[in-house]
Amino acid sequence: MPFTPFHLGFGAFVFALCPFIDVTAILIGTIIIDIEGVLYLLFKIGALHGYTHSLLGVMIYLIPCTFFSWVFYKLYMKIANKKFRFNWLYSGISSLLGLVSHIIFDGSLYPEMMIFYPFSQAQGHLLGIMSYQTIIIILISMFAVGALIIAVKSLLRFKFEKNVLLSYNLLKPITNIEIEEDTIHTES
């Protein structure tokens, strides 16, 4: 596991390019698989890159990722007092993208990974595709580019909304002019 937070770079990059992606689901998907590694490091339970770093892990974590995303959006709607319709399909696809990306990045680094478990217990299918340094550079670059794109989009959206609001406020006095009857003079 390249230091787990680096996996978030993939999620930020994909979300920046595809705004229909469920950002919560993809970010959770990129890191949730490492729960197994954390349990191993802290309590010596399981393995560092065991069953959850495989297709089985993707299947196991797909529903919880999507569910946690739904819970997050429900909380967000309550706090922000906004309403929208949660899209389970987009959330599921986003979770799947995050989970699979984690497997691919880790699979190229660690020989003990059984990516196709439970269908095959062979190890190291993707080993050596990329070096550790390359993966770290890719993930950091993806995060930086994704964050920059998101920041620029947010700035442009803010400026657009500000201009629309400013235009509305400039037009408001014109549209609210009331004409008093005694100021109208008619020639007879």
Q: What is the pLDDT along the chain (188 residues), one digit of tens a residue?
A: 446 788 899 999 999 999 888 999 999 999 999 888 888 888 988 878 888 888 888 999 999 999 999 999 989 888 888 777 888 999 999 999 999 999 988 888 888 888 888 787 788 778 888 888 999 999 999 999 999 999 998 888 887 776 666 665 655 555 554 545 555 555 54
Sign of CA dihedral 145, 147, 151, 153: positive
Distance CA 23, CA 94 (A): 7
User: 91: which 2 tokens?
Assistant: 């959330």
Cα–Cα–Cα angle for 106, 111, 117, nearest 5°? Answer: 75
DSSP code of residue 127: T
Residue showing tokens 């919560």: 24
State the residue for tokens 């959006």. Answer: 73
CB atoms inside a 10 Å sphere around CB 142: 21
State the Cα angle at 151 between 3 and 76, rounded to 5°: 80
pTM score: 0.76
Q: Count Cβ atoms below 10 Å from residue 187 Cβ, excluding itself.
A: 3
Residue 64, pLDDT score: 93
Residue type, 149: I
SS3 176: coil
Question: Residue 164: its pLDDT value, please?
Answer: 64
